[in-house]
Structure 1
Amino acid sequence: MRKASTERHIPDILDCLAQLSNNEVPTPPRLARATLDILPAEVWGKPDYVWLDPVCKSGIFLREIAVRLLEGLSDQIPNFDMRREHIYREMLWGTATTEMTGMISRRSLYYSRDASGAASVIRFGSADGNLPFIRSNHTRPKQKNRTADGSCSICGAPLELERGEGRENYAYSFIHGTYPTEEMRRMKFDVIVGNPPYQIGTEGSNRDRPLYQYFVDQAIALNPRYIAMITPSRWFAGGLGLAEFRNDRLNDRRMRMLVDYPRLYDAFPGVKIRGGVSYFLWEREYNGPCRVQTMWNGNPIGEPVERCLNEWDVLVRRNEAVGILRKVQGAGGASLASKVSSRLPFGFQTNVHGASTPTGLKNPVEFYGSRRQSWMARSDIKVNAAAVPMHKVLMHRAYGEDGEPPYKVTAYPTLVGPQTACSGTYLVVGAFPTAEEAGNLDAYLRTRFVRFLIQLRMNTQDIKSDTFTFVPDLPMDRMWTDADLYERFGLTEEEIAFIESQVKEMPAHDPVEPLA
């Protein structure tokens, strides 16, 4: 009979820390350690390096750095007390995102929220130690350059967040010019690490504005030797206002490594971050391809692959997909994106509906809107009028799904006949004079092959015309099947198996029958 273990499991209190707000997600200790693992091993033996976490929420990064430096510097500074004093006083710096996270972070790093007290691991001259919360203010735009919604000119936050000294305003000091402080201006940081706030609500909009790119850009502007940061992965292929940031990162040959967690809840258990998260290593003296590694259920999928991130205008996140896309692109030809409508195919918003019946309408047009069909007069349609009398294939503009692959990727395409139009709930993917051509496009969009190529450009639920950029614009004078497409582009059995592991089969329907 096996003897029962008498060892007690002592949980890490930072594993139990709940999400602090909608835009601040504490870093699980396991993820913080994994992020630090991608730094070169020699950094832990450098007593002259200065470390900075400019976005402290729990203090986990600085705590884990301290643990590693205490071991790594044992040869250079053999006396433990002197080594600890040097590390905490001279090497570790940070600033908190809020007053509360400052107290939590100091408790994690110094064992006391009061760094000047007797309980602190070393005693500083102030309660903040090297880890203060610096209050900042959002920047009101000058009138001539005023943003459309009157929001902060730096981060885009609504100025109504300025609610007095006693309330948090989320004007983070690292990106609002107050940290490093004036007294620290001559300091040179060697390593910058952290998990910045991801987003902030914007006035008059139901869409949150991403913030993390400003922290990455500011970290790079300080020109350290290394940067290791966690961010959402939405920047790979989308995200509100992230086009410039994406272009900069894809073309930055100092990006040394990128580790991607596409699976929901994998990196942050219990926190829904659609599109997943990733962390990267930026190295000032490096100039070359980036090593890309995908993680799934906490484990790496295959070996990391070195590749140039700017091969396409978006980052293809799975290494297994790169060879498939190269074959498709190498075949040449136009992209289906050129045939896909704008966000509002006929100029109508998503909440627009017509009359419940065609009675009394001159030249009635059947109108496809959100959750129902209605009727409009032909004369009411001013945008894209030439498409009204044609056979069309519609695609829902928003489609999201959770869970494990294989994924559906898109909603079912919808075939509609002549004298039809739609609201912005849909995109028009193609318009044809014949029902047969429209039916063939419908079948084409249902193939795993096409939806796989769409998936490569999707990190959110939004589908736009450029989501179809990787999809070849093949002639619709025949019905395409997956077998035809695999053969046309010379895919191997391994490549086919990967596509089919990622994308569900979608049932076809009669290519000539319009759907109501």
Structure 2
Amino acid sequence: MSFLTSEDTSRRASFSLRGRNPDVLTCIANLSSDEVFTPPDFANRMLDALAEAWAADNEGANIWADKKIKFLDPFTKSGVFLREITSRLTEGLEKEIPELEERVNHILTKQVYGIGITKLTSLLARRSLYCSKHANGEHSIVKGFDNDSGNIWFERTQHTWDGNKCVFCGAGKTVLDRGDERETHAYAFIHTNNIKARLAELFGETMQFDVIIGNPPYQLEMDSSGQNVAPIYNKFVEQAKALEPRYLSMVIPSRWMAGGKSTGALGQFREVMLNDSRLSALVDYPVSSEVFPGVEVKGGICYFLWSASHKGPASVSMIRGETTFGPTKRSLNEFDVFIRDPRAVDILKKVLAYSEESFSELVSPRDPYGPALGSKFKEFRESPSVGDIRLFMNQGQKRISVWVDSKKATKNRHLIDVWKVFVPEAASDGGQRIPSIVLGKPIVAGPPSVCTLTYLVLGPFSSQQEAASAQSYYATKFFRFLVSLRKITQHATQSVYTFVPKQKWSKRWSDEELYKKYKLTHEEVDYIEAVIRPMEVNDE
């Protein structure tokens, strides 16, 4: 396999290893679903987009023919971005630096830089780029280094603990305070308050990178439960912007578009991204396995291109299977979340034009009746005792109705002796498969009753008839379509119901009535019908 991977490898035989097919970087296993290797063809799509933007902004200039441009992958794993950049520069600089060895030495010592995320990936990246895990080794194709690392830096970094959390990345001490024998996952790029000074330390001089590009780690565990994880890819984006590059392009999970709490780190990141006029292009893949075969990233994957000189709408594309929607010029901040499918925007605008109250006002927060009634609650009874009330819960994959002491409910006691609808807090897969069910089946529950935190509560309603009316509305494709615009992962928290308008609870609702009420066109109806699965419900 030639480290340059271009069509004219015969002209570069002295810098290639022959007979390796297919490309080894298409065959290596991912570290995890949070540290994912980027396939070479996908890296090249991002580099193509970068080159097009550079040419558009620089009177048609070829970025690969400029020997002064500096590139950084600050979280390199396989080295694929650096390798493909080097391939393009080797071809593009042929006229300016005709002698191949001189050209390669210039590119690898003056233009292409990386920071490994682990010791293993730093060795792999050097092997991909220099054809040797030692930059100054006898098999290295570059002769300008006097150290093993070359321009791909890695040293073990430690977390900075404040109590049980790292002050830089928020990682849990109980999970990642591991000693010397295991990786710390304290990524150097985000473990500093002054990234410019830190890079000067790493590379021995003040660095100004024109292009920062790569695929950062996605999340870290906050404690030993395995359930409490927090995104960190947003920290890499923010740190890269602090370096003031001319262009920035990253592969990140799409869940920033609508996921996370609005007041949390991801919500703050979303607000910044949607209001950043320098975001020039956004390419969204709702099905992550179409980008990373065999890897499921809830909510999908996207990459963006950020240009320091860009002002205005972004060019947005959504790709699902063989179908591409876009690119279309869009203002990203029309709503507080990003509506990833452009066909949905006009429908949503029609609904919001009625200025009706939001259905989310009828939806309880997570953990509706208090922490005692957790998803693994076991203190229930098959038959009632004095003071017991009905409890709805899941046992394995089965829904059951049992009995529990009413004192176990410590929150929202006003939602005990009323009619309501219980709905699953987690359901579906965030649109990975189309048509999607979006939400789990509802349960109409009479007084007195409660549920475990497996469910949220819709209500209160004044009668069984009102609760049944709300249940029928919930089951419509119209209702679940509006939820899907905000539900980008499997979790259906209170906020995903924000776009759904309230109705009057005097009758059973149907899609036909709702389509007519909001004056949807035949094309819009066909679109909703195609992407949302039907739901059959029964009163329970």
Partner of 2:243: 222
Deviations along 1:206-247, one digit per CA (max 9) or x if unpaired, are 222222111111101101000010011111111374111111
Are 1:154 and 2:173 matched, yes or no? no
Give unpaired runs (5+ residues) of structure 1. Answer: 1-7
The code of the aligned residue for 2:140 comes to S
Paired with 2:208 and 2:407, the residues of 1 have a C-alpha distance of: 66
Deviations along 1:341-371, one digit per CA (max 9) or x if unpaired, are 1112222333335541454313x42111233
154-163 or 120-129: which moved more? 154-163
344-353 or 82-91: which moved more? 344-353
Partner of 1:345: 368
Give unpaired runs (5+ residues) of structure 2. Answer: 1-18, 56-61
Q: 1:101: Cα distance to partner?
A: 0.7
**Equivalent residue of 1:301, what SS?**
strand
Paired with 2:440 and 2:27, the residues of 1 have a C-alpha distance of: 38
Report if aligned partners of 2:428, 2:436 keep a CA contact under 8 Å in 1: no
TM-score, normalised relative to structure 1: 0.91
The code of the aligned residue for 1:89 comes to T
Deviations along 1:55-90, one digit per CA (max 9) or x if unpaired, are 110000000111111222334334433332221111
The code of the aligned residue for 1:257 comes to A
Q: 2:188 is matched with which residue: 169, 173, 195? A: 173
Paired with 1:234 and 1:370, the residues of 2 have a C-alpha distance of: 27
Q: Are the structure 2 counterparts of residues 380 and 93 from structure 1 closer, same or farther at C-alpha, using a change threshold of 3 Å?
A: closer
Q: 1:424 is matched with which residue: 450, 453, 475? A: 453
**Equivalent residue of 1:474, what SS?**
coil
Q: 2:414 is matched with which residue: 362, 381, 386? A: 386
Paired with 2:20 and 2:529, the residues of 1 have a C-alpha distance of: 42
Q: 1:294: Cα distance to partner?
A: 0.7
Where do 4+ consecutive residues of structure 1 move more than 6 Å? none
Q: 2:101 is matched with which residue: 72, 81, 91? A: 81
**Equivalent residue of 2:325, what SS?**
coil
Report if aligned partners of 2:286, 2:301 keep a CA contact under 8 Å in 1: yes
Partner of 1:3: none
Report if aligned partners of 1:358, 1:376 keep a CA contact under 8 Å in 2: no
Partner of 1:395: 423
Report if aligned partners of 1:59, 1:106 keep a CA contact under 8 Å in 2: yes
**Equivalent residue of 1:282, what SS?**
strand
Aligned runs of 1:100-499 on 2, under 5 Å? 100-123=120-143, 124-141=145-162, 146=163, 150-160=164-174, 161-177=176-192, 179-182=198-201, 184=204, 186-205=206-225, 206-239=227-260, 241-297=265-321, 299-347=322-370, 348-352=373-377, 355-362=380-387, 364-371=388-395, 372-378=400-406, 381-401=409-429, 404-499=433-528
Paired with 2:255 and 2:432, the residues of 1 have a C-alpha distance of: 18
The code of the aligned residue for 2:126 comes to R
Matched length: 495
Taking only aligned residues, the RMSD between alpha carbons, in angstroms, comes to 2.0
Q: 1:497: Cα distance to partner?
A: 1.5
Paired with 2:205 and 2:490, the residues of 1 have a C-alpha distance of: 43
**Equivalent residue of 2:64, what SS?**
helix
**Equivalent residue of 2:113, what SS?**
strand
Aligned runs of 1:498-513 on 2, under 5 Å? 498-509=527-538
Q: Are the structure 2 counterparts of residues 357 and 102 from structure 1 closer, same or farther at C-alpha, using a change threshold of 3 Å?
A: closer
Q: 1:459: Cα distance to partner?
A: 1.6
Paired with 1:339 and 1:196, the residues of 2 have a C-alpha distance of: 38
Q: Are the structure 2 counterparts of residues 414 and 97 from structure 1 closer, same or farther at C-alpha, using a change threshold of 3 Å?
A: same
Q: Are the structure 2 counterparts of residues 87 and 359 from structure 1 closer, same or farther at C-alpha, using a change threshold of 3 Å?
A: closer
Report if aligned partners of 2:221, 2:230 keep a CA contact under 8 Å in 1: yes
**Equivalent residue of 1:366, what SS?**
strand
Partner of 1:38: 49
Deviations along 1:147-195, one digit per CA (max 9) or x if unpaired, are xxx1211112233534344432111111113851425452101100010
Deviations along 1:232-291, one digit per CA (max 9) or x if unpaired, are 111111137411111111111111111111014111001121211110001111111111
Q: 1:300: Cα distance to partner?
A: 4.7
TM-score, normalised relative to structure 2: 0.87
Paired with 1:357 and 1:87, the residues of 2 have a C-alpha distance of: 73
**Equivalent residue of 2:309, what SS?**
coil
Paired with 2:414 and 2:260, the residues of 1 have a C-alpha distance of: 32
**Equivalent residue of 2:316, what SS?**
strand
Paired with 1:379 and 1:270, the residues of 2 have a C-alpha distance of: 46
Report if aligned partners of 1:95, 1:134 keep a CA contact under 8 Å in 2: no
Partner of 2:38: 27
**Equivalent residue of 2:152, what SS?**
coil
Paired with 1:356 and 1:18, the residues of 2 have a C-alpha distance of: 48
Q: 1:416: Cα distance to partner?
A: 1.2
The code of the aligned residue for 1:168 comes to E
